[in-house]
Structure 1
């Protein structure tokens, strides 16, 4: 007869296969504003009075509830409703409540138009720092916030329109829904510049404007990228008899009737999924002229300048958010019996990312300080901004995707998982480099400014010269660059390289003057010498990296 084997006794069942060890805890419940780079920056740029509020916003941004809002707003994307149940055209976009929660906080905290009504020195710096901290949680809702901030100086080209709408654009009340503007507690604004046949070349726009006897205009045409279509007011470029002009288009007219604003579709975008971007069609759409007829670009350029500032702020924030996740992970994760942060090569990578983030944030806050001072009459700061904003927009936004993907890699497979939040940061990263003019546009704007406004180059040079003699590598890089900045030369083929060099020497000057020696030394050694590495984690030997991790965001202790 066959022999039946007796199985060995089974051990007591356990759940040990599901025990979790050597994983970083969630980065939640922390103060996003607990960052020496930001705190030193607001003090240096004249907004130290905002520190307590910045910490309050930072604690909210780091909370579990707000992180849940961010995920919900991106997973439950906006939906277009062109008609109601009866067939009436309504052209509305529905958002998840989380999106409204995020916007409510942003407006309430003064991150939209409020600084223009705040007489305190440093108001724009405070707003910039708050914007960087709050959009760390979620970037998409920052678009309508930025455009509302940016429309105010442009609208002032027509004082009667500014008098009517500015008090509501600077309000701290978020009041969603399409109603007559005067019946609302606060307004949000947007812009419609580009068209499918022209893109950056707005002078090729075909939208037309016809004046009526009552002083209003009628627009007819189709815009290609108009974000946040549920905002209340839009600045729009259209061809008037006198040339390309700027117009104010309300979604709802003063009498409460809907203006013609047909949303043809929402864009299916790579990232920025919480924010709706649309193609509106104008057909006998009522508008008001802003600025002089034929001076549309000149009128709207103030809005473009401010939105470019927010591109820099947003990219600095996105870089910082990714770094916070990476720094948090390597502080907790162990490999080969040592924390990742103590592994020499990983320490080099994290330190390099920290230097990149500090350079971006320091430059962003310097620009905000220049905006604040120029708005109070400082002509030198205004001249500095004309070059520095395009330079910073080009470089900081260009560096964000590389920094985010390096931070993602620090988490390995965990960083590639949607649950980490880093894939969303990575999808969002290219946007600021495209919005308000891609890299080529910024680089060419730099050349145009250098050619037409020598006082702007002088102001830029004065900023670099303020660090003269402090670091020989910076001095050498600046001398070489100055020899190339000759407006009479044909520099267009080299425009990107020059914009990059200008950004690096500007960041170097700021860090040499304001950052700890270890940070400035690492920056100059790795960014201002011919031997600079092409990837993160290639900081040269001999640098003192020990102090840098203490300046990284993402601490929960």
Structure 2
């Protein structure tokens, strides 16, 4: 037994063990727009300089500590399915953390959803794209219903009596989460296309739509079937595909499916379960069964794919914007960490190997940004050349930029070391998010084959794309060689049989994407950036990983822009 003096000398004696130093301070309360020189320049270049003030306001909002905290909460306190109430009545509701609704409300209030439709004009789509990117940079999950709401507008306009009811609500900047709110002025849209047996092959859909009356465009139908992926199930309405029957017309058709019917009752919308996804945690995705569910036909019977084609094009553009926003977040976080941490006697960002990696990540981010905003600009112009360009370039960019996103996020995450691998830092969330952009609205093969289809069916789109990339000829010999090679590849495709052309689709689309990005950089970015991109992506000594830039790259000048 210890004596009193012995017990005193061996009792716990808490004391200060160490000081916390050599850790980066939180990257909060920054203006994500004003500090993003590449995005700011692109917005000015493509006719939306008038939006600088509001974009700076958005930049401060999404860079604030409170918004970043809401982004974290929305992804950690994830959506919860409420199938029934306490008495056994079906609810079919998804409960979100209030932080998610605060994020959604902010995005809608700044027009990230339908601002370009609300106030059309020069630069409208560019300003909306920049707004969407700023919000997506910090919290990407909410961008799904925001994007679908934006993309639904052209499909709704095909049915005037339907758009008269729904468009004012879609264009509203009011956000109310509850479905049953009387006199609800705003609305957000979702979409539910894919089914178990079909996936991307929506023509294999088995959901049946029976006319409730006369049938035909603008008429009510009763839908019975299922949807395997339904994103944002608490949206006010959805565009869905179903096989129409009846004398008014048959075949795969498009329908608007409201969650709440005009008489105030809930439409049949049986949420079977929520998907447990790799990423995109703040946004609920579900499986849903339809059983006599009311839907209004949009467009011509049997022409459902044609009705939603513009919606698909718009959401594909937003996949590019979302991946690009993720690259910006990755570069910003990696630079912040490495500029505020030392190892082996030097600041990390100033050590040559790390400098090369950071510069390469920045170059990739800049290439994605100039491409994304150029595509948004193409949606502000109505002439045939721009329509042709955006038809092909959107698919090309969607394939390439979204494919580059996951590895870019991983490399940036590695710059943070062990911190990057923890969920306390945003790059772990970003790494899990980036693959979604490559899958949503067409995975790699679907997009590559769509490029081939466009070149065959709409040769004017190939001409418009080639005209755009040829604008950069003469700026760099390696780019000129690549353009010559691309011309040969495109010519070969026209003479090959279908199977061989499809097998080479990814190779050709990659060449097209690199030509587009290199061309835009040589035309619009400083020579240091374009030279680094061309040499490392098109040159004979190009590497396969980030951080393999030529030794003469002007790294300091590039990083200063980011």
Q: TM over 0.5: same fold?
A: yes
The residue number in structure 1 matching 2:508 is 498
Q: Determine the structure 1 residue equivalent to 2:163.
A: 162
Counterpart check, 1:187 vs 2:169: no
Aligned equivalents of 1:44 and 1:172: distance in 2? 27
Contact 2:117–2:171 (8 Å) recurs in 1: yes
- Could you tell me which of 399, 404, 412 is aligned with 2:409? 404
2:143 and 2:164 map into 1 onto residues whose CA distance is 25
Instruction: Work out the CA distance in 2 between the residues paired with 1:119 and 1:201.
Output: 34
User: What secondary structure is seen at the aligned counterpart in 1 of 2:496?
Assistant: coil
1:510-539: per-residue Cα shift (whole Å, max 9, x none)? 000000000000000001123321000001
Measured in 1, the distance between the counterparts of 2:528 and 2:462 equals 30
Give the aligned partner of residue 429 of structure 1. 434
Alignment correspondent of 1:222:
226
Instruction: Kindly provide the CA deviation profile for residues 433-463 of structure 1, in whole angstroms up to 9, marking residues without a partner as x.
Output: 0000101111000011111111000000011
In structure 2, the partner of 1:516 is 526
**RMSD, matched Cα:** 1.5
Aligned counterpart, 1:284:
292
* Structure 1 pair 22–441 and aligned structure 2 pair: CA distance change class (3 A): same
2:239 corresponds in structure 1 to 235
For the residues of structure 2 that align with 1:119 and 1:483, how far apart are their CA atoms? 40
State the partner residue of 2:455.
450
Can you give the 5+ residue segments of structure 2 that lack an aligned partner in the other structure?
A: 1-5
| Residue in structure 2 matched with residue 273 of structure 1 by the alignment | 281
- Contact kept, 8 Å, 1:477 with 1:529, in 2: the verdict is no
- What's 2:548 paired with? 538
CA distance in 2, matches of 1:461, 1:312: 20
Equivalence for 1:23: 23
Q: Go from structure 1 to structure 2 and tell me whether the alpha carbon gap of 1:392 and 1:23 turns closer, same or farther (over 3 Å shift).
A: same
Q: Distance in 2 between matches of 1:81 and 1:531?
A: 56
Kindly state the Cα deviation for residue 342 of structure 1 after the two structures are TM-superposed: 1.2
CA distance in 2, matches of 1:458, 1:507: 17
Contact 1:114–1:169 at 8 Å: present in 2 too?
Answer: no
User: What corresponds to 1:555 in structure 2?
Assistant: none
Query: Displacement, 1:15?
Result: 5.7
**How far, CA to CA, are the matches of 1:493 and 1:276 in structure 2?**
35
SS in 2 for 1:485: helix
Contact in 2 for aligned 1:221/1:282 (Cα 8 Å) = yes
Q: CA deviation at 1:546?
A: 2.2
Aligned equivalents of 2:192, 2:450: Cα separation in 1: 20
Indicate the SS of the match to 1:418. coil
**Contact 2:158–2:299, Cα closer than 8 Å, also in 1:** yes
1:297 Cα offset (Å): 0.3
**1:22–1:333 CA contact under 8 A, matched in 2:** yes
1:469 aligns to 2:479 (yes or no): no
**Residue 247 (1) aligns with residue 255 (2):** yes
Q: Secondary structure at the match of 2:256?
A: strand
Q: Given that residues 116 and 128 in structure 2 are in contact (C-alpha distance below 8 angstroms), is that contact kept between their aligned partners in structure 1?
A: yes
Q: Deviations along 1:282-334, whole A, 9 cap, x unmatched? A: 10011111010000000011111111011000000011101111010111111
Find the counterpart in structure 2 of residue 479 from structure 1.
484
TM-aligned CA deviation for residue 114 of structure 1:
2.6
Q: Is 1:102 matched up with 2:112?
A: no
Please say if 1:358 is aligned against 2:358.
no
Whole-angstrom distance in 1 between the partners of 2:428 and 2:230: 25
With normalisation by structure 2, the TM-score equals 0.94
CA positional deviation for 1:16: 5.4
User: Displacement, 1:420?
Assistant: 1.4
How far apart, CA to CA, are the structure 1 residues paired with 2:173 and 2:52?
A: 19
Per the alignment, in what secondary structure is the counterpart of residue 540 of structure 2? Answer: coil
What residue is the counterpart of 1:489 in the other structure? Answer: 496
Decide whether the 8 Å contact of 1:238 with 1:246 is kept in 2.
Answer: yes
C-alpha offsets along residues 54-110 of structure 1, whole Å, 9 cap, x if unaligned?
111111111110111011111111011111111111211000000000000000000
TM-score, normalised with respect to structure 1? 0.95
1:119-164 superposed Cα distances (whole Å, 9 cap, x missing partner): 3311111010011111111100111100001100111111111111
Distance (whole Å) between structure 1 residues aligned to residue 261 and residue 495 of structure 2:
50
Contact 1:115 1:170 in 2 (8 A): no
Q: Give unpaired runs (5+ residues) of structure 1.
A: 1-5, 553-557
